[in-house]
Amino acid sequence: MSKQQTYPFWLGGVAASMAASCTHPLDLTKVRLQTIPDSKKPSVISVVRTSVAESGVRSLYTGLTASLMRQMSYSLVRLGSYESMKAYLAERGQKKTGPLLLAAMLAGALGGIAGNPADILLVRMTSDSIRPPEKRYNYSNAVSGLVTLIKQEGLRGLTRGLGTNVTRAILMNGSQVGSYDYFKSRLLREPLPLIGFQFRDNLLLHTAASCLAGTVATTVCAPADVMRSRLMSASGKTSPLEVLKRSLQEEGPRFLFKGWTPAFIRLGPNTIFMFVFFEQLKKGWRSMFPAS
């Protein structure tokens, strides 16, 4: 009997880092849209134009070090944990959607905890230029930002927005990773309606499944994503309830889906890049270290 192929725990983090390097300007635009008040009537174009006008094209990569730190903590843990849980379930013949979805959500929670400090840095660094000068954090990079954060706010500062972030991570991993596996297996198993096209396990399948997964994930995670951005960009003590109450009073329930379009524009390509890179890295690993 052949041994099931296993992969290094860090492989997903590398794939996610490669994807983040490609889509960081979209992530930066999304965070700024979510944190700018409605009274300023922000749009994707106006945010990008303002950023480039103030600091040049390089400003679109502000916070990239925090993004990479986030992927090598949050995504490394959530993808690595899920792959381990999926292999464990497969060994016991559990291949149904329910157990896999629960595994994806649990892995997301672990990733959310691991990546919370880097998430704080990412939100602050990408939204810093739109804050008043006296309220800017001015982190030069993720490492110095982490040191400054601990010095100024203590270890407790690393947990800012943790509840919202873990909630978002659970929703994200369940809707993104869980739905990717679902769409991938469904497209492999059944031909497309009307045209009868049958997918094979190749780049086209990975792209189609990841595009569908990105759409599901963007919609499911939108409210938690907005709350997370606003909590982490805030200075001083504040609670999720205070942020929710104030935002509802000032902007109405619509604010929960604020930035959906740039979120999808960012998450769609990011999901495609991440899973395509992940599948290719796994393919390369299999060729170098085949299961015996």
Task: Please report, rounded to a whole number, the percentage of residues in the chain having pLDDT higher than 90.
Answer: 49
Q: Alpha helix locations (H) across 173-237?
A: 178-189, 203-233
Residue 172 and residue 163 in contact, taking contact as beta carbons nearer than 8 Å? no
Q: What are the sequence ranges of the domains in the chain?
A: 11-288
Range 24-28 contact pairs with CB under 8 angstroms and sequence separation of 24 or more: 24/60, 24/61, 24/63, 24/64, 24/67, 25/60, 25/61, 26/262, 26/265, 26/266, 26/269, 26/270, 27/67, 27/122, 27/126, 27/266, 27/270, 28/60, 28/61, 28/62, 28/63, 28/126
pLDDT for 54 equals 67
> What angle in degrees, to the nearest 10, is found between the helix axes of 240-251 and 203-233?
100
34 contact partners, CB below 8 Å, separation of at least 6? 225, 226, 229, 230, 258, 259
Q: Residue 1: pLDDT above 60? A: no
pLDDT for 42 equals 64
pLDDT for 37 equals 66
pLDDT for 79 equals 96
Mean pLDDT, the chain, as a whole number?
Answer: 87
pLDDT digits (tens, 9 = 90+) for 111-147: 999 999 999 999 899 888 778 888 889 999 999 999 9
pLDDT band at 227 (very low <50, low <70, confident <90, very high): confident
Residue 9 and residue 76 in contact, taking contact as beta carbons nearer than 8 Å? yes
- The CA radius of gyration of the chain, in Å to the nearest whole number, is 20
Q: Bigger pLDDT: 55 or 277?
A: 277
Q: Residue 63: pLDDT above 80? A: yes
Least trusted range by pLDDT, from 4-18, 113-127, 144-158, 217-231? 217-231
- Supply the DSSP symbol for 175: I
Query: How far is it, in rounded angstroms, from Cα 245 to Cα 243?
Result: 6
pLDDT for 208 equals 94
pLDDT digits (tens, 9 = 90+) for 241-279: 888 888 888 888 888 887 788 778 778 899 999 999 999
Hey, CA dihedral for 249, 169, 99, 202, is it positive or negative? positive
At 220, which amino acid appears?
A: V
pLDDT for 38 equals 63
At 53, which amino acid appears?
A: A
CATH top-level class for 11-288?
Answer: mainly alpha
Structure tokens at 197: 């096209």
Q: Cα angle vertex 166, ends 39, 68, to 5°?
A: 80
Burial class (CB in 10 A: 0-12, 13-18, 19+), 220: middle
Span 221-226, average pLDDT: 82
165 contact partners, CB below 8 Å, separation of at least 6? 112, 115, 116, 119, 228, 232
Residue 266 and residue 221 in contact, taking contact as beta carbons nearer than 8 Å? no
Q: By three-state DSSP, how is residue 291 classified?
A: coil
Q: Residue 52: pLDDT above 80? A: no
Residue 152 and residue 144 in contact, taking contact as beta carbons nearer than 8 Å? no
